Amino acid sequence: MLILGIDPGTAKIGLGLIEYKNKKTWVKCYDCLTTNAADTTAARLNDLYKQLLKFIKEHQPDIIAVEELFFFKNLKTAIKVSQARGVILLAAAQQGLKIYEYTPLQVKQALTGYGRAEKKQMQQMVKVVLNLKEVPRPDDAADALAVAVCCAHSLR
């Protein structure tokens, strides 16, 4: 089973594709989608949509796992991230994929057993759990892999 974890954002959208089989996980690939900051919001969302559809069609995941917006400091940022999440959910639904959503707290608990784990701790756990030589970069891709691992753990 291929699980695509997604860490939504406005400038960068983290993607982490893992294979889950016999209670084991392997990294297939990870990356970030980016949009041009000079473009309008509508143009950036359209670009995100096209890039995500291309990735989905190329890699054929069985499941999409998306991080929910749980806490925000800036309302303007929260709205933009919510718009990106909407595009992500639309693209996945149009491809007929199962969609699972997880809060940052759920992702942290799945990987570390502690819902208030620090970012560096999370990144180290992604490295360990997925048997990687180094922490995935950029951070958004590591976060997306964490969401995918959380999904795999919740399917057990």
**pLDDT value of residue 125:** 95
**pLDDT value of residue 156:** 64
Q: How is the chain split into domains, by residue range? A: 2-155
Distances (CA, A) of 45 to 8, 11, 83, 144: 12, 10, 8, 19
- Mean pLDDT, 10 residues at a time, the chain of 156 residues: 94 96 95 95 95 98 91 73 94 97 94 87 94 94 97 89
**pLDDT value of residue 119:** 87
pTM of structure? 0.94
Active site residues: 7, 67, 140
Binding-site residues from annotation: 7, 67, 140
What is the fold of 2-155? Nucleotidyltransferase; domain 5 (3.30.420)
Binding-site residues from annotation for Mg(2+): 7, 67, 140
Please calculate the CA angle 52-38-40 and round it to the nearest 5 degrees. Answer: 65
